[in-house]
Amino acid sequence: MAKHEAEETKRNGSKKAAQPRAKRSSSAGQRKSTASTAHTHSNDAPPKAEQAASPKLKEAQQEDAPSTPTTGLDAAASAIGRTLGRTVAAVADKLPWKGSSDGLTLLEEDHRRLESLLAQTAETSEEDVDTRRALIGRIAEELTTHEMMEEKVLYPALKSHSEAKDIVLEGYQEHHVADLVMKELQELPPSDERWGAKLKVLKENLEHHIEEEEGDMFKTARSILSPQQLEEIGAKMQAMKERVDREPRERT
């Protein structure tokens, strides 16, 4: 009997000893599972430094990104604007006397073209037959139209004023001399040794004529004619030039 009670007491003691070990094992497992879960969440979340830098990084990337039109309409409007600007510039370059304000300004622009053509022609030699012929033909056309605008529009407007009468009469005579030399140049073969000498006389005559016109004549004209009168003279000159430019095409 005593032996049986001793064995029962021993078994009960073993069970009590096993229960703390099971509880400790279960607690350890729970701590391990919690640590594993925490580690997993730690891997999923970005570092705090990255979280702080992320908004700044996005802002910098947005600033570096190329700007583009917000809509297709913006892109189309931008393209149309560029095309229109180029078209207007191209047309403006071809308009006669672009930027001119009055008749005297138009004549000054004519003078610059004649000076340029005369300088180009003076650089040619007897071997440049075709070039000489083409250039002198261009000078003759420019000079004829220029003289006509002066003699039919500007000179009559000035001649009625006593202070401009002598200057105008001198202008007529200088035109006459230039026309005579031009006629001889056109009739003379460009390879002729006299051609260069006649061109020099024409060039010097026209340069003197231009200097006197832009000096005494134009200064007098601005003193006796109003800005409105000068603009009206310019409009008449422009209409005359456009009519002369159309005539060859109308005859063909």
Which pLDDT belongs to residue 71? 55
Q: Domains in the chain and their CATH numbers?
A: 100-251 (1.20.120.520)
Q: How far apart are CA 44 and CA 145, in angstroms?
A: 89
**What is the pLDDT of the chain when averaged over all its residues?**
76
Residue 107: both structure tokens together: 């004549």
Reported as a pLDDT band with limits 50, 70 and 90, residue 76 is: low
**Could you read off the pLDDT of 175-194 as tens digits, one per residue?**
999 999 999 999 999 999 99
pLDDT band for 245, please (50, 70, 90 cuts).
confident
Closest listed residue to residue 106, CA positions, set 239, 226, 247, 244: 239
* Res 92 pLDDT > 90: no
Top pLDDT among 223 and 2 is at 223
**pLDDT-based confidence at 90, cuts 50/70/90?**
very low
d(CA 213, CA 203): 15
Distance between alpha carbon 86 and the CA centroid of its chain, in Å? 7
Which has the closest alpha carbon to 204: 128, 142, 134, 115?
115
Q: What are the DSSP calls for 4-45, one per residue?
A: HHHHHHHHHHHHHHHHHHHHHHHHHHHHHHHHHHHHHHHHHS
Q: Is this prediction's pTM over 0.75?
A: no
For residue range 101-150, list pLDDT tens digits in order: 799 999 999 999 999 999 999 999 999 999 999 999 999 999 999 999 99
Residues making up the chain, counted from first to last: 252
CA-CA distances (angstroms) from residue 204 to 110, 170, 188, 207, 224?
A: 17, 16, 19, 5, 29
Is 132 strand, coil or helix? helix
Q: What residue type is assigned to position 235 of the chain?
A: A
Which pLDDT does position 42 carry in this prediction?
Answer: 46
